[in-house]
Amino acid sequence: MHLLRALVVVCLCVSMATAQRCTDDVCEFTLAVRYARTMTHTARNGYVTGVDLLTNGSLKVRDFLWERDGPIVPVEETITADGAQRNVILVNGQFPGPTLEVMEGAQVIVTVVNNLLREATTLHFHGMHMRGVPYMDGVPYVTQCPILPMHNFTYRFKAEPAGTHWYHGHMGSQKVDGLYGAFIVHKNSMPTKPSLPLFLQDWWHEDFNNIDVDNGFMDRMLGPGRYFVTNQERAFMFDGSLLTAIRFESGLINGRGRSNNNSAPLTRCDISPGETLRLRLIHAGAEYTFRLSIDAHSMTVVAADGHDVTPVQVQSILVFPGESYDFEVTGDQPVANYWIRAETPWAGKGPDAASENRMQDVKAILAYDGARTNEDPVTTTQDCTEDNPCRVLNCPFPAFPQNSHAECLYATDLRSTQEYSMPDESETIQEYFFSFGLGSTINFIKFDTPKAPLILNTRPDDDFPPCETTCGFIGGCWCRHVMKLPHGKTIRFVLMNLGVIGYGMHHSVHLHGYDFRVLAMGFPDYNETTGRLTSPNADIYCGDSLECSVASWNGTRRPNLNFNRPPVRDTVVVPAFGYTVIEIRSNNPGFWFFHCHQTTHQTQGMAMVFAEALDKLPALPHGFPTCGDFTGDEKPSTGESGEGPNGQSGTLAWLDETRLVIIILAATALSAILTLAAVRIYHARTGKSKEKVPETPETPRLLGNTVPRENGASQWKEDTQF
């Protein structure tokens, strides 16, 4: 039962994040990154105190000094998250970071100031092609050195393509701890319709770096930890696929949520009766998939990953980490407050999970003008019936259970507003298979991060050592997984996710530097009554290899590819025990990261790099930062035998040092002689002038003031004005 909360405080849909809009040809921004604590308040004098959450939703300063009740503080002055105290990364003092809005084609200049003190960082502009400036892509040790604590780095790039995009940290798991914000590129002019970013993420009461260190899958199977649990304790979906190996704690919408049904303030999206509001949904989280819906309202999806699609009306959207969807909602219901719900598709624990009738959800509020602002909504989810089923976009499985009365729309069902350009008939289309089916690997290879950025240390004729193609089932291979792509070609990637039923999961995969067309999806066999997956898709032949690191199409079994305005994306889901076919045009020289956007999967090694046209890479900017290992000299210079600092013998090094000392002494002596001569000449000339001019109106002023001493001599007094 939803209880009235007399003083529940909610905030605008943008939460504490503000928008910085620029319509100029050149747009400059500064993003200062630092750590802070949630549930703390900073007074005007800079004094920071903790705050307590009261049962009515208001916040009270926790005064330790005087042991008395502190004052009530505005919600807008506090980063509350879900009401629990923990570290959070702020951008310009905000969580999420400020929304940056620019025009398509603008030159964007973003200076990142790293005030994290103990951590390096980088910033990736998710969805930007970085054409002509691949060194601005923000991937540590691939396109740049990390930005060290108390250092700055300036990103310069052209804003393209238009649409809903975002920026986020790409160092470790900083994104999950708050380092993100919206980056909106408008086509022709600023929109007249109201539009708001809607960030969605899972949330824990500990820094995610600490959780990832606890990850038992970094080195084979080392067992569960505090957050990582055994297979029988993990969250599974109704289809029998693994949702995640990490315990659910809570979630946030635009930086606000509730933990254990507390009274923490929620994000509020205001709408007027009859108004159409555009919400830019972005999944900035780490692991969990969410199904987003709004009580009593349908949603009209108009874009995916920033690219326009033919509008389609749905009742909910399944959104995975890294994905974004623009949808419109119209205020066509009675004036009231309505729940915005983001529920995990969690069915229960273990591969044979049965529904436990317990929700894992995140909430915000769609608030009509005129509705009471001091109470929670009392609305319920929409009824899905056999006669009026609910449409769900982005299903990674064949179908819902029959009794759910939900109808799937797949990513391939969306239609781009852009026509598809067929390759020339004479062109041979390149096709590559990549397996995401076992462990945190691609083709059973874990990405071994370089020690220095690839873009700094690669010549056009360099060949990257090939990784093993027959890695063992236990452990896989660690390798600097880099693959060269031919330039100016049409290339198809078959992203496979085959494996053992009961141990697989859906993966959201992101490609830097390119957009791609989604041409097909293949799903496994399933039970039509329960929706449970029964056997992997048979279109792909893996031979006797369980890891399927060397694959091909299974004889004549091939999917029907869709060339009728296939959707344009930069992130796509690869279904468990199925596959997704995407197509790119290799027209962007650079090193481009390709990885799973689920954070623990990426940090565990589910990533690789595509290297395109290394002979066409642009020159690096002057003074571009470098980094790498330094081992030092085995025999440092001591003035004795051995090598000197520049590789010369110890004797030569000693001679060089001796010559340097002699030169310095000679220069010092010469300087002293010249100074003495100048002084004598000056006094001689001064004496002669005094004979001719007995009185002088004022003492000459050089670089300071002179004041008389008692004995008639002069004393130097510093002049702070020169």
pLDDT tens digits, residue range 198-218? 999 999 998 888 877 666 555
Percent residues over pLDDT 70 in the chain:
79
Q: Return the structure tokens found at 413.
A: 């069902």
- How far apart (Å, rounded) are the C-alpha atoms in residues 499 and 508? 17
Please tell me the distance from the alpha carbon of residue 340 to that of residue 346, in angstroms, as a whole number.
18
Interval 165-183 mean pLDDT: 96
In whole angstroms, how large is the CA radius of gyration of the chain? 32
Closest alpha carbon to 490 in 612, 594, 584: 584
**Nearest-angstrom CA–CA distance, 609 and 612:** 10
The per-residue pLDDT for 474 is 57
Q: What are 566's two structure tokens?
A: 């296939």
How much of the chain exceeds pLDDT 90, in percent? 55
Bridge partners (DSSP) listed for residue 623: none
Cis before 645? omega within 30 = no
pLDDT at 237: 81
* Residue 65 predicted with pLDDT over 70: no
**116 vs 62, more confident:** 116
**Amino acid 360: pLDDT:** 82
Report strand pairing: 533-535 vs 714-718. unpaired
What local confidence, expressed as pLDDT, does residue 148 receive?
97
If one counts every other C-beta atom within 10 angstroms of the C-beta of residue 525, the result is 14
The pTM score is: 0.84
Which residues share a beta bridge with 699?
none
CATH number of 430-616: 2.60.40.420
Q: Which run of H or of E encompasses 125?
A: strand 123-126
Q: Is a pLDDT exceeding 50 seen at residue 704?
A: no
* 3-class secondary structure, 712: coil
pLDDT at 462: 76
Q: Is 316 exposed, middle or buried (0-12, 13-18, 19+ CB in 10 A)?
A: buried
Looking up tokens 């599974």 gives: 236
What would the pLDDT profile of 255-289 be if each residue is shown by its tens digit? 999 998 899 999 999 999 999 999 999 999 999 99
CA distance 121 to 115: 10
Q: pLDDT digit string (tens) for 296-311?
A: 999 999 999 999 999 9
Buried b (16+ CB within 10 A) or exposed e, 476-501: bbbbbbbbebeeebbbbbbbbbbbeb
pLDDT at 675 exceeding the cut of 80 = no
CB 51 within 8 Å of CB 59 = yes
- More confident of the two residues 622 and 651: 622
pLDDT of 222 higher than 60: no
Instruction: Find, among 105, 417, 84, the residue nearest to 252 by Cα.
Output: 84
Q: How confident is the model at residue 221 (pLDDT cuts 50, 70, 90)?
A: very low
Beta bridge partners of 300: 313, 328
Poorest-pLDDT segment among 85-89, 429-433, 640-644: 640-644
- Integer Cα distance of 7 and 55 in angstroms: 9
Residues 6+ apart with CB under 8 A from 702: none
pLDDT of residue 353: 54
Most confident of 359-368, 460-469, 638-647, 651-660: 359-368
Measured torsion, CA atoms of residues 21, 22, 28, 30, in degrees rounded to the nearest 10 = 0
Domains in the chain: boundaries: 430-616
The secondary element (H helix, E strand) that includes residue 663 is helix 650-692
Q: Which residue has the higher pLDDT, 261 or 98?
A: 98
Q: Choose the weakest-confidence range: 1-5, 393-397, 713-717.
A: 713-717
Residue 381, CA distances (Å) to 292, 378, 427 in order: 11, 10, 51
Helix (H) / strand (E) containing 208: helix 208-213
| Residue 708, token pair as written in the block | 């008389």
Chain mean pLDDT for the chain: 83
Mapping DSSP to helix (H, G, I), strand (E, B) and coil, where does residue 249 land? coil
Residues facing 612 on adjacent strands: 485, 590
Q: How far apart are CA 449 and CA 122, in angstroms?
A: 15
Is it the case that residue 152 has pLDDT exceeding 80?
yes
Q: Is the pLDDT of residue 194 over 50?
A: yes
Helix (H), strand (E) at residue 114 = strand 107-114
Q: What is the pLDDT of residue 710?
A: 38
Give CA–CA dist 322/508, Å, rounded.
7
Distance set, CA 680 to CA 620, 634, 685, 714 (Å): 56, 54, 9, 17
**Taken in order 374, 379, 381, 387, is the CA torsion positive or negative?**
negative
Distance CA 508, CA 323 (A): 8
Q: Are 179 and 169 in contact (CB under 8 A)?
A: yes
Which candidate, 245, 202, 248, 210, places its Cα nearest to that of 224? Answer: 245
Instruction: Measure Cα distances from 624 to 110, 120, 282 in Å.
Output: 15, 16, 32
DSSP secondary structure string for all residues of 306-351: TEEEEEEEESEEEE-TT-EEEEEEE--S-SSEEEEEEE----EEST
Structure tokens at 373: 């602002």
Residues in a beta bridge with 508: 573
The structure tokens listed for 166 are 């975002």
Instruction: Please check whether residue 406 is in contact with residue 392, taking contact to mean a CB–CB distance below 8 angstroms.
Output: yes
pLDDT tens-digit profile of 230-241? Answer: 556 677 788 888
Longest dimension (CA), the chain: 119
pLDDT tens-place string over residues 568-582:
999 999 999 999 999
Closest Cα partner for 366 from 281, 266, 290, 280?
266
Provide the token pair at 450.
Answer: 């370089």
Max avg pLDDT among 309-323, 453-467, 619-633, 692-706: 309-323
Residues 362 and 343: their CA atoms lie apart, in Å, by 6
Give the residue-averaged pLDDT of 333-345.
95
Higher pLDDT, residue 340 or 464: 340
Question: Do 335 and 329 form a contact (C-beta atoms < 8 A)?
Answer: no
